[in-house]
Amino acid sequence: MKKKSLYWILGGLLFAATAAGYTYLNRDISNAVPYRTARVERGSISSQITANGTVNPVITVLVGSQVSGTIQNLYVDYNSPVKKGQLIAQIDPATFQAQVSQSSAKVQNARASILNAEADIGTARSNLDVSKANVVKARVAVTDTRRNLDRNLELFSKNLIAASEKDAAQTAYDSALAQLEAAHAQQKSSEAQVESSKARLSSARAALKQVEAELEITQLNLNHTRITAPVNGTVISRDVDVGQTVAASLQAPTLFTIAQDLTDMQVEANVSEADIGRVAVNQETTFSVDAFPQIIFRGRVTDIRNSPITVQNVVSYIVVIRVKNPELKLRPGMTANASILVAHREEILKIPNAALRFRPEFAKRETGTGQKGSATTSSAKSDSSSPRNREKLLAELNLTSDQREAVSRIFRETRSLVDAAGGDPEKTGKIREDSRIKVRALLNEEQQQQYDQISRQPGERQAPAPVYKVWVPVPQQQPAPVDITTGISDGVFTEVLSGDLKEGQEVIVAAAGSSAKNAKNSPASGPPGFGGRR
């Protein structure tokens, strides 16, 4: 019995030692931290930029008044459709009509002055003709008396006539000369009268032009009392009432605001300077308005204005988005919450962003480094902005001289930004993605297709992608790291470009001991369908 009891005691001690050894050897497994995981999915992903803006008509016309006066009649109101040339308001025309009548009277007076001047010219010309006839008559008389004087002098020299007859002939000749001089003076006076009459006629004609111009001005002011629509459209604002006095001084007062076509609208969105580099013309956009939160409106970027807007040291730029509005649901002034599609991928592997941020505690203790891997070393060989690769890219796209200069400038800027990023793979990836979007915006459709093919080709022409380390669970062991390169992100999921991950494989997104509050506050820590797995 004693021997049998000893066996039992030795067996119990051996069992206890075995259990203790097993527990000691597997202490890491027993103390293993449970993890929350998510599956690697295959699907589509879109990278978007969000911005707020205002819905406005493409063309808005401010209708004003060029004359001052009292509003006598209004013929349109808010939301009234109008046609070009349609009468929409009337300013009291009484004062302007009186000015027109006064100017008309001045015109008639000026025309009468012209007729008088023309009559004076006729009279002066008649007097001139009489003066010329008198000159001719006086010359004939001088000639006749000269012949008579010469004959009498010859007879007197022969003592055939008396001295009195000679003196009488001399007197007649001198009188004829005096009359000739008087006739010449009269002719000159008549000519002066003709010129004076012509000058008065010219003055009268100039006065007529002046008063006719005054009449045109007063008639134009009278016409401006009729306010007409300059374009076809819809009245969206009326700023005056009947009986109100408008004063047109240095600036024409606004009476109406007319939207030319409410079926064609635009959103003027404010995009921050950090995101403006990723925006390009013809990019697809979606937006919603508070009036119809369940409706998604679609449009395209048509313009990126270079004029900066600075508010509290925050710089933004206006991006114009054109959108069709056939049902007239969009109204001027609505606030639009827009999303600009800057990149889109189909049928790609994607993982939650929380998996990129996760790092187990034992890895932090071992390395003491952050989450990101060394993207600079792994991607240096694939730098598309290096001189050799850049020349290949420019040659294959067959760029014009202007395109080549613009693309080279983008590459130089990209190289400077990459150098300034200090090897941060996330910043580097965003910089190169922005560069790709800028280059693509400069190309035509055929060149864009070639550029997309080049961007997808492996090797040294492929743009470097950020390198991350994600962690996958291993049964009865510590999680294992997997290096991956990433592409675009939509804020919740990120594209997996390369790495040893398969569709459906589990990746760790957080430790199960993480507080629910932290998980809730993290935008990508628990996307729908991925939370709660151990």
Provide the b/e sequence for 297-318 (b: ≥16 CB within 10 Å): bebebeebeeeeeeeeeeebbb
217 and 139 fall within a common domain:
yes
Do 218 and 233 belong to one domain?
no
Question: Each residue of 284-322: pLDDT tens digit?
Answer: 999 999 999 999 999 999 999 999 999 888 889 999 999
The per-residue pLDDT for range 13-41, each reduced to its tens digit, is: 666 666 555 554 444 443 456 888 899 98
Judge whether residue 281 has pLDDT over 80: yes
Instruction: Say if residue 65 is in the same domain as residue 211.
Output: no
**Mean pLDDT, rounded, for 331-357:** 90
What dihedral do alpha carbons 119, 124, 130, 133 form, nearest 10°? -120
Confidence of residue 532 (pLDDT cuts 50, 70, 90): very low
Distance CA 288, CA 53 (A): 11
CATH of the domain at 74: 2.40.50.100
- The answer to whether position 7 is within a domain reads no
pLDDT (0 to 100) of residue 225: 92
Whole-number pLDDT of residue 16:
64
Q: What is the pLDDT of residue 194?
A: 85
Closest CA to 137 of 188, 191, 184: 184
Domain that holds residue 250: 60-92+225-257
pLDDT at 2 > cutoff 60 = no
pLDDT band with cut points at 50, 70 and 90 for residue 266? very high
- Last residue of a domain, which of 417, 442, 464? 464
| 534 in a structural domain | no
Cα 509 from Cα 483, distance rounded (Å): 15
Instruction: Dig out the tokens for 137 from the structure.
Output: 């008559």
pTM: predicted TM-score of the whole model, two decimal places: 0.57
pLDDT (tens digit per residue) in 415-463: 788 777 766 666 777 777 777 777 777 777 777 767 766 665 444 344 4
Give a yes or no: residue 337 inside a domain.
no
Statement: residue 85 has pLDDT above 60: yes
Tell me the percentage of the chain whose pLDDT exceeds 90.
28
Query: 466 pLDDT band (50/70/90 cuts)?
Result: low
Distance separating alpha carbons of residues 520 and 35, to the nearest angstrom? 16
- Total domains in the chain come to 3
Q: Does 243 lie in the same domain as 209?
A: no
154 and 240: one domain? no
Residue 193 has pLDDT above 50, yes or no: yes
pLDDT digits (tens, 9 = 90+) for 153-168: 888 888 888 888 888 8
Residue 147: inside a domain, yes or no? yes
Same domain, yes or no: 175 and 120: yes
Q: What is the CATH number of the domain that holds 209?
A: 1.10.287.620
One-letter amino acid for residue 388 of the chain: R
Q: Is residue 493 part of a domain?
A: no
Domain finish residue from 441, 464, 487: 464
317-338 mean pLDDT: 93
Are 79 and 177 part of one and the same domain? no
pLDDT score of 32: 53
SS3 for 299? strand
Residue 465 or residue 274, greater confidence: 274
What are the angstrom distances between the C-alpha of 256 and each of 64, 88, 262, 434? 7, 9, 16, 44
C-alpha 349 chain-centroid distance: 39
Does residue 375 register a pLDDT over 50? no
Is residue 27, in this structure, part of any structural domain at all?
A: no
144 confidence band (pLDDT: 50, 70, 90)? confident
Q: Are residues 72 and 184 in the same domain?
A: no
3-state secondary structure of 61: strand
For residue 403, what pLDDT band results from cuts at 50, 70 and 90? confident
Residue where a domain stops, chosen among 464, 484, 506: 464
Residue-wise burial string across 490-527, b where 16 or more C-beta atoms lie within 10 A, e elsewhere: bebbbbbbebebeeebebbbbeeebeeeeeeebebbbb
Q: Which token pair is 380?
A: 């240096």
Q: How far apart are the first and last CA of the chain?
A: 52
Average pLDDT for 387-402: 67
Same domain, 146 and 250: no
Q: Is residue 438 part of a domain?
A: yes
- Residues 121 and 164 occupy one common structural domain: yes
Q: Is residue 301 part of a domain?
A: no
Residues 207, 128, single domain; the answer is yes
Give the relative orientation of helices 401-421 and 425-441 as an angle to the nearest 10 degrees: 170
169 and 218 belong to one structural domain: yes
In DSSP terms, 285 is beta-bridged to 299, 340
Distance between CA atoms of 195 and 130, rounded to whole angstroms?
16
> d(Cα 426, Cα 324) in Å, to the nearest integer?
37
Read out DSSP for 491-520? Answer: SSEEEEEEES--TT-EEEEEETTS-HHHHH
